[in-house]
Amino acid sequence: MAKKSDAPWIGAHVGRNGSLASTIDAAEAIGATAIQIFGSSPRVWRTVMPKADDVAAFKERRGKSSVRAVFLHAAYLVNLASASADLYAFSTQSLIDHLKIADIIGAEGLIFHLGSCKGGDRDTAFEHEIAAMKRVLESVPGKTKLIMENTAGGGDKIGASIEDVARIYKAMKSDRVKICYDTAHGFEAGLVSEYTSDSVKKLFDAWEKAVGMDAFAALHANDSKTLTGSHHDQHENIGEGHIGIKGFEALCADARLHALPWLLETPGFDGNGPDKKNVDTLRSCFA
């Protein structure tokens, strides 16, 4: 296992108290060295672009903080796999807008869910995903990454398997396309029945063979309220779910994952989202 001094950046999804700069304060308060935020409301299509003075204050505050990596998370409404022309168009534009925000504030990238074909043809859904992602990247030139997140599956969702994610990643042929592995989603999708030293090695051996470890930009570190293979996406605080402390110790022991920021999306022990206890608990798993 890694020494604590070798542990990766432990981050969290943090909320905004009005300004972008407030997210840095929220991170500092819980001991996070990386953050994930929403650039605009995740529950509506309309995107509000940040004002120049808010961006400047955010960058200044970040530069003086211990926060080393910033990621945005896309709107929950986004579904690039949809057969609905309207939903597909809205989803593509939403990703363009949110990736622009990520670029403006100097974030590493935008993490998004691949969506569901909802009973439609899966091959067509993959074609839609790839075409839309290419349009998003063309619309927002630069270095900011577009980051696919694996899913828990169920409901005809795309991205529950290594093969799904690898299919899109290989088709994109872009160094701006990356992957975020969610520990709860992988467990809920049945990629592992439990995280042990053997299963973690086999899992990331498979990822490494399929896409290479350079394909990864971050991890979402979440315990799971539901059983392995449930295909039901429900996060739990670290050590309180079916993955458990032993599972996270096994994940933390894989040195291939140490170069990645680990981002918490847990409900919080006080019910208000990722907190210091979750950060400290995860950090303690790097013995």
In-domain check, residue 179:
yes
- Within 8 A by CB and 6+ apart from 204, the residues are 213, 254, 256, 257
State both tokens at 66: 């211990």
- Within 8 A by CB and 6+ apart from 131, the residues are none
Q: Is 108 exposed, middle or buried (0-12, 13-18, 19+ CB in 10 A)?
A: buried
Q: Which residues of the chain have pLDDT under 70?
A: 1-6
Give the pLDDT of residue 185: 98
DSSP-assigned states of every residue in 137-195? HHHS-SS-EEEEE-----TTBS-SSHHHHHHHHHHH--TTEEEEEEHHHHHHTTS-SS-
Number of domains present in the structure of the chain? 1
- Within 8 A by CB and 6+ apart from 285, the residues are 238, 245, 248, 249, 251, 252
Question: Which range marks the domain in which residue 240 is found?
Answer: 4-8+39-52+69-284
Give the pLDDT of residue 3: 32
Give the pLDDT of residue 18: 84
In-domain check, residue 18:
no
Give the pLDDT of residue 6: 61
In-domain check, residue 230:
yes
Give the pLDDT of residue 245: 98
In-domain check, residue 16:
no
Give the pLDDT of residue 77: 96
In-domain check, residue 146:
yes
In-domain check, residue 64:
no
Give the pLDDT of residue 182: 98
The dihedrals phi and psi of 262, each to the nearest 5 degrees, come to -105, 115
Q: What is the CATH number of the domain that holds 170?
A: 3.20.20.150
In-domain check, residue 245:
yes
In-domain check, residue 32:
no
Give the pLDDT of residue 7: 73
Give the pLDDT of residue 287: 73
